[in-house]
């Protein structure tokens, strides 16, 4: 449960850092790419394993790192497009509602079982996610429905992939290395995007974006590291874990938004908070 707590804490910290990006006019994509190399360095620095390039290249999970790294960049791009075309509210709802994908995967593929109360709790969590993250009455334009759908499935596929890979390919001792090289792969893919932007005369780098990347990279590494550690706990099923993490992140980010950023909530958001607390109780039992 300690890993679960830290996974929630560092995930919330990511949202706080992103909030300050707008205040200081930081280029989010450039900071994201920089954050990946920072996360890689943090992982390499904190690992207790001796690192050998030859040995690492033979790891069975290395190709999966490249796959996840590419997904990270692709989903970030999709999230940006969804925010631009449909609004931040729609992007937030689409990404958070995707928790149903790893939950269903755990139930169907790993044959996890849940009781009646937990099933009701997971269903309640979906409604809680919708009402808590929906900040306006914005509707999805029929001409732009593609990106929210891609964001929904893409976000769910990332969580599902991490779950599957850690269960089948990553030994407990390799958790830090696997996390580190996943972020290195994402950084390399991001650099390819930078090269393309430079070719199109669309690239202009500012030092503050690197600072933003450093601020983001540290909690980003630990959020993934502790998520994987939590998934490796055989005493808690992934369906329960993903639900608890999403509900925990929603409640804590909402609280920080109220206290730190003076955000205002609508009636539907309070309904979502009440449902989130109910879901938390049901899933915990």
Burial of 98-113, coded b for 16+ CB within 10 Å and e otherwise, reads: bbbbbbebbbeeeeee
Q: How confident is the model at residue 235 (pLDDT cuts 50, 70, 90)?
A: confident
Residue 255 has pLDDT above 90, yes or no: no
As a whole number of angstroms, the distance between CA 221 and CA 213 comes to 12
pLDDT of residue 84: 67
pLDDT at 136: 59
How many DSSP H helices and E strands does the chain contain?
A: 12, 0
**How confident is the model at residue 144, as a pLDDT?**
63
Range with top average pLDDT, 117-126, 142-151, 159-168, 252-261: 159-168
**Per-residue pLDDT tens digits for 36-86:** 999 999 999 888 777 777 788 888 899 999 999 999 999 988 887 787 677
Q: In angstroms, rounded to a whole number, what is the distance separating the alpha carbons of residues 55 and 183? A: 18
CA distance 44 to 183: 11
Average pLDDT score, the chain: 86
In angstroms, the first-to-last Cα distance of the chain is 14
At 213 the pLDDT is: 93
The whole model's pTM is what?
Answer: 0.86
Give residue limits of the domains in the chain: 2-284
Distances (CA, A) of 35 to 7, 38, 122, 189: 18, 5, 32, 13
> How far apart, in Å, are the Cα atoms of 157 and each of 104, 128, 239, 283?
11, 21, 14, 22
Alpha carbons within 13 A on the beta-carbon side of 22: 5
Q: What's residue 253's pLDDT? A: 84
pLDDT at 216: 93
């Amino acid at each position: 449960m300690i890993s679960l707590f830290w996974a929630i804490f560092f995930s919330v910290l990511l949202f706080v850092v992103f909030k300050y990006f707008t205040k200081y006019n930081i280029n989010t994509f450039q900071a994201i790419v920089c954050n990946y190399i920072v996360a890689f360095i943090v992982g390499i620095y904190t690992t207790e394993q001796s690192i050998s390039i030859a040995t690492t290249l033979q790891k069975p999970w290395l190709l999966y790192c490249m796959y996840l790294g590419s997904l990270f960049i692709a989903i970030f791009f999709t999230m940006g497009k969804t925010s631009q075309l449909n609004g931040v509210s729609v992007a937030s709802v689409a990404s958070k509602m995707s928790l149903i994908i790893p939950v269903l995967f755990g139930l169907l593929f790993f044959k996890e079982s849940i009781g009646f109360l937990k099933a009701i709790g997971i269903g309640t969590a979906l409604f809680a996610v919708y009402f808590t993250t929906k900040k306006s009455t914005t509707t999805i334009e029929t001409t732009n429905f593609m990106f929210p759908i891609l964001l929904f499935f893409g976000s769910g596929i990332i969580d599902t992939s991490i779950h599957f890979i850690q269960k089948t390919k990553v030994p407990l001792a390799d958790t830090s290395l696997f996390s580190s090289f996943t972020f290195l792969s994402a950084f390399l893919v991001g650099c390819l995007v930078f090269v393309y932007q430079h070719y199109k005369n669309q690239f202009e780098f500012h030092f503050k974006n690197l600072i933003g990347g450093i601020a983001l990279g540290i909690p980003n590494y630990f959020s993934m590291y502790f998520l994987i550690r939590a998934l490796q706990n055989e005493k808690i099923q992934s369906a329960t874990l993903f639900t608890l993490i999403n509900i925990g992140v929603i409640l804590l980010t909402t609280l920080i938004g109220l206290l730190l950023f003076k955000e205002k909530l609508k009636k539907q958001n309070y309904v979502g908070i009440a449902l989130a607390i109910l879901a938390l109780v049901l899933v915990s039992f």
